[in-house]
Amino acid sequence: MAQIIDGKALAARLMEDTRKGVADIIAATGNPPGLAVVLVGSDPASEVYVGRKISQCRKAGINSIEHRLPADTSQADLLALIDSLNADAGIHGILVQLPLPKGLDAAPILDRISPDKDVDGFHPVNVGRLSTGTGGLVPCTPLGIMMLLDSVIDDYRGLNAVVIGKSNIVGKPVSMLLLEREATVTVTHIETKDLPDVARKADIIVAAAGAPHLVRGYWVKPGAVVIDVGITRITDHDGTTKLVGDCATHELEHARAVTPVPGGVGPMTIACLLANTVKAAKMGLK
């Protein structure tokens, strides 16, 4: 029977560390760290995500400042807001919720965020720091994935890791983090030839393709550790809906450990966002 890696419990422990970090910053400066969340338009999923982030900020003691802008906000006005937040000493982290409404180009907006306040870890400077192993702020989901793996793996040296998905948000950065731990990493995607055969050689599988139940039991060798990043809402045969991941978890009893969906990677992502905010604030004290 595969061990279930409890993302909620790990996130709770990380949140406790974050609260202690917030207390340290308040003791040093008299003020808590500040996280600015920018939401443009009223995308329902984005509203839910932003609400969760703000709620968790309050629990951690982080000062969360919301900027809600209409969907017809111009590129120039959004860039001007980013400039003002970059210049605000009370703001240590800036998060622009994606996707942005049509007519707005996300790339120059994300690039405008100061790398030292880029708590999502998407700025090219932080991507460069990650690729060269020179610090910086690491994207939240890959950071959380590594913490989940660390809970069951002590030594990565010589392990074969297969990452399914090549996105800039998850696949590429988690590959670099695994390389830093001396794992041998293969980056794949749903168009990779003979993907099941490639996956079967892995000691670690990170499934981040956004394809429900892509990874089947016969793709996974006995004793492998499987991190399921995907989350998709599907309609069952009886008309009810449910959330599923990229892995057919019920077929993975022969794995060493797996993450559930929901309750695996998701809770870690928000916890890592708050941890990054504290990290950014501490970097500003140096």
Residues with a known catalytic role: 53, 97, 120
The answer to whether 54 and 64 have CB atoms below 8 angstroms apart is yes
Q: How many helices (H) and strands (E) does the chain have?
A: 9, 11
Q: Which two tokens stand for residue 25?
A: 């910053």
Strands (E), 146-251: 160-164, 184-188, 204-207, 225-228, 232-235, 241-244
The three-class DSSP label of residue 160 is strand
What radius of gyration do the chain's Cα atoms show?
19
Residues in the chain: 286
Name the helix (H) or strand (E) containing 176: helix 171-180
Torsion angles phi and psi, residue 181, rounded to 5: -90, 5
Give the CA distances from residue 37 to residues 8, 53, 117, 154, 165, in Å, rounded to whole numbers and listed in that order.
23, 9, 12, 36, 27
First-to-last CA distance in the chain? 47
